[in-house]
Amino acid sequence: MKKWLNQMGPATLVTAAFVGPGTVTVCAQAGVRFDFSLLWALLLSVGITILLQEMAARIGVVRQKDLAEVLKERITHPVLKFATISLVLLAIVLGNAAYEAGNINGAVMGLEIISGSKQQWLWPIVAGVIAFFILYLGNHKLLEKTLLGLVIFMSLSFVATAIITQPDYGAILNGFIQPRIEEGNILMILALIGTTVVPYNLFLHASLAKQKWKGASQLSVVRTDTMVAIGLGGLVSMAILVTGASIPGNELTRPMDLASGLQPLFGNAATFFTGIGLFAAGITSSITAPYAAAIVIQSCFGWKGGMDSKKFRASWMIILLIGLASTTLSFSPIVIIQFAQLANGILLPIMAALLWWLSASKQVLGIYRNGKILNLVSFFLLLTTVILSIRTLSKVLF
């Protein structure tokens, strides 16, 4: 068990990144509105995420370079290279800065539920300080172990909450094996995929994988780590959806509503576990969003040094402070969030296409490139991300 835990790490941070307050809200909303009928969509999104993240991690381990570095090497046309790197930089940095406020808010809501008191200034500072010190220590192993513990903690909390609601397990099984795509649920299906398949996680995973594993001989461990950790994140998302299905009504607007809806039906135990899970979801995303942004900034500009370098620390500090300021000053970064959605909507299919190109390239991965079956599967994944992109762009622009 200890040996297995020591091998786990990079993909756990990916899980910590995508299971945030936004995922809690979307999955709970899916359960409230459609009961268990969209569990198959979550299963699909987890499968897409595992495949894309495995490609990114494989590139990082085999090439021992960040994803942005490999892109800069392979895209030789100066204008195309500048456009690609600029788009990646803008979408990920601005997106993470905007959503950091939501991450901290999620942790704050969890603390409010656990403590039973609302502290307008105290709880945001507590959440910000926790994220700051974990990042400032600048130790990859500490970061991995801390987030692994939080992800397990979060998983147990949300699974316990789902069990407390005493769901119909036969209906849950039908939700997995009977896919339904209708006019009324198509946007929710795409939202479930969009909250799980996150572009910045590709850069995060490649960077973390190349630091933990040195050489292609460990690719089997990389795949195990990816499948287990992201599968665990998928389990959390499914538990949240199952929990949401037990709440009366047909609308949730924020993560706090999940706990509020559970208390009259299932008492303080369900509310308490929800608060713990929400705090863990918020704090893990509060750590990984600035960290991922700093990795992208460092790679795009070619800066040297690790987590303790001044430029790297300055990068994540700025992202964290923007999120903290937005929370404590009641600043609503609507325009930034809309821009981030627009940029990420464009970035997702572009990154999926670039990742497919890189992972299928003999020049990049040699004998470790994609096989024919994986290339075919990747093509259908690319189509899915294009559909998701169109939906995101239409939502923001219209």
Q: Is the pLDDT of residue 357 over 80?
A: yes
Q: Work out the average pLDDT over 298-321.
A: 87
Measured between alpha carbons, how far is 61 from 218 in angstroms, rounded to an integer?
Answer: 8
Q: Is the pLDDT of residue 182 over 70?
A: yes
On whether the CB atoms of residues 20 and 150 are closer than 8 A, the answer is no
Candidate from 164-168, 185-189, 197-201, 376-380 with smallest mean pLDDT: 185-189
The fraction of the chain above a pLDDT of 70, given in percent, is: 85
Per-residue confidence (pLDDT) for residue 343, from 0 to 100: 62
Q: Which is nearest to 348 in space by CA: 98, 90, 97, 88?
A: 88
Query: pLDDT tens-digit profile of 48-63?
Result: 899 999 999 999 999 9
Per-residue confidence (pLDDT) for residue 164, from 0 to 100: 86
Radius of gyration of the chain (CA): 20
Confidence grade of residue 169 (pLDDT, cut at 50, 70, 90): very high
SS3 of the chain: CHHHHHHCCHHHHHHHHHCCHHHHHHHHHHHHHHCCCCHHHHHHHHHHHHHHHHHHHHHHHHHCCCHHHHHHHHCCCHHHHHHHHHHHHHHHHHHHHHHHHHHHHHHHHHHHHHHCCCCCCHHHHHHHHHHHHHHHCCCHHHHHHHHHHHHHHHHHHHHHHHHHCCCCHHHHHHHHHCCCCCCCCHHHHHHHHHHHCCHHHHHHHHHHHHHHCCCHHHHHHHHHHHHHHHHHHHHHHHHHHHHHCCCCCCCCCCCHHHHHHHHHHHHHHHHHHHHHHHHHHHHHHHHHHHHHHHHHHHHHHCCCCCCCCHHHHHHHHHHHHHHHHHHHCCCCCHHHHHHHHHHHHHHHHHHHHHHHHHHCCHHHHHHHCCCHHHHHHHHHHHHHHHHHHHHHHHHHHC
Query: pLDDT tens-digit profile of 329-350?
Result: 655 544 555 555 566 667 778 8
Measured between alpha carbons, how far is 30 from 245 in angstroms, rounded to an integer?
Answer: 8
Per-residue confidence (pLDDT) for residue 333, from 0 to 100: 45
Q: Work out the average pLDDT over 299-303.
A: 85
Q: Give the CATH architecture of domain 2-328.
A: Orthogonal Bundle (1.10)
Per-residue confidence (pLDDT) for residue 170, from 0 to 100: 92
Number of alpha carbons in the 13 Å side-chain half-sphere of residue 167: 26
Q: Looking at per-residue confidence, does 288 or 273 come out higher?
A: 288
Q: How far apart are the first and last CA of the chain?
A: 51
Q: Looking at per-residue confidence, does 186 or 341 come out higher?
A: 186
Query: pLDDT tens-digit profile of 249-285?
Result: 666 666 666 777 676 666 677 778 888 888 888 888 8
Structural domain spans, the chain? 2-328
Q: Is the pLDDT of residue 381 over 90?
A: no
Per-residue confidence (pLDDT) for residue 396, from 0 to 100: 58
Q: State if pTM tops 0.75.
A: yes
Q: Which is nearest to 249 in space by CA: 28, 398, 100?
A: 28
Q: Work out the average pLDDT over 18-33.
A: 85
Per-residue confidence (pLDDT) for residue 255, from 0 to 100: 64
- Spatial neighbors of 75 by CB under 8 A, at least 6 apart, are 81, 84
Q: Which is nearest to 229 in space by CA: 74, 16, 379, 85?
A: 16
Query: pLDDT tens-digit profile of 117-155?
Result: 777 678 888 888 888 988 888 666 777 778 878 888 888
Residues in the chain: 398
Q: Is the pLDDT of residue 80 over 60?
A: yes
Per-residue confidence (pLDDT) for residue 60, from 0 to 100: 92
Q: Looking at per-residue confidence, does 393 or 334 come out higher?
A: 393
